[in-house]
């Protein structure tokens, strides 16, 4: 990648976002990092600077949709352009459909779907005016098939596919490229921060996730896909087989989904 490309990463304080930030930093990119925790984000910023990047941070809670346009305008203004936006931030769930509070459903949809949708709609005119750009979005294999204890989470990830595939179809000739990032089980904090039925944090790493690939390994594959502007990249281990089972053997995938241990 050419030096001085401007890249905005949300969910950049840990996990996939942090690991991708370090890879881009080594290529002397201009980085903008967003996450809820300002203290942790500052630590990642200093490491990115040490690795050779120009790096600014914009701490923000993406469940606050009211000031999202202001946040996006600030991100564009920091370096004067936006080549790549990696909309990676998200929050997961660990509760059945009926026991989940409505406000938990709403928060998951706000962070996972409405925030990236609103950011993208604000970014697109600037990207089109500059001659193009790349929007990478973190979905999930839960955006491919329903999964126990993930009703709102799966809904938000399904919605990302519908919205951003439409964006790609509408603005392809304007040199806008969309990369759908579809992780399986990755060793990150997503299960620690997942919301239970009453909104409390799950507070532990799930057994299946603990056996997943590292965030660093996932980041290498994701960054490569973003550079090549691949329409979709599947990231994970053997659990990715479910994506192909759903595609070619949908009846079998439904039976398997009912049997999967969800945590």
φ/ψ of 186, rounded to 5, equals -125, 140
153 included as an active-site residue: yes
φ/ψ of 43, rounded to 5, equals -65, -45
DSSP string, 5-59: -EEEEES-SSHHHHHHHHHHHTTT-EEEEE-S-HHHHHHHHHHHHHTT-EEEE--
**CA distance linking residue 215 with residue 232, whole number of Å:** 18
Count each helix (H run) and each strand (E run) in the chain, helices first: 11, 9
* Contact predicate 20/9, CB 8 Å: yes
Per the residue annotation, which of 22, 60, 153, 171 is the catalytic one?
Answer: 153
φ/ψ of 136, rounded to 5, equals -100, 140
* Contact predicate 84/20, CB 8 Å: no
At 211, list the tokens: 């056996």
- Positions annotated as catalytic residues are 153
């Amino acid at each position: 990648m050419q030096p001085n490309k401007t890249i905005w990463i949300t969910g950049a304080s840990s996990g996939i976002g942090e690991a991708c930030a370090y890879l881009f930093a080594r290529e002397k990119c201009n980085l903008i990092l967003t996450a809820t925790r300002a203290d942790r984000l500052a630590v990642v910023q200093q490491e990115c600077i040490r690795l050779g990047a120009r790096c600014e941070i914009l701490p923000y809670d993406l469940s606050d949709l009211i000031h999202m346009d202001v946040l996006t305008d600030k991100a564009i203004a920091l370096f004067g352009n936006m080549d790549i936006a990696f909309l990676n931030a998200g929050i997961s769930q660990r509760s059945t459909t009926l026991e989940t509070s409505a406000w938990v459903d709403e928060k998951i949809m706000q962070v996972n779907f409405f925030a990236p949708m609103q950011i993208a709609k604000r970014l697109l005119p600037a990207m089109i005016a500059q001659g193009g750009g790349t929007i990478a979005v973190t979905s999930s294999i839960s955006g491919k098939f329903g999964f126990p204890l993930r009703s709102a989470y799966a809904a938000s990830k399904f919605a990302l596919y519908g919205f951003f595939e439409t964006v790609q179809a509408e603005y392809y000739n304007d040199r806008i490229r969309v990369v759908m990032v579809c992780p399986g089980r990755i060793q990150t904090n997503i299960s620690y921060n997942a919301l239970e039925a009453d909104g409390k944090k799950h507070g532990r790493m799930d057994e299946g996730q603990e056996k997943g690939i590292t965030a660093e390994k996932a980041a290498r594959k994701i960054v490569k896909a973003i550079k090549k502007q691949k329409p979709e990249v599947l990231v994970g281990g053997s659990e990715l087989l479910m994506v192909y089972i759903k595609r070619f053997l949908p009846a079998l995938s439904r039976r398997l989904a009912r049997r999967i241990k969800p945590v």
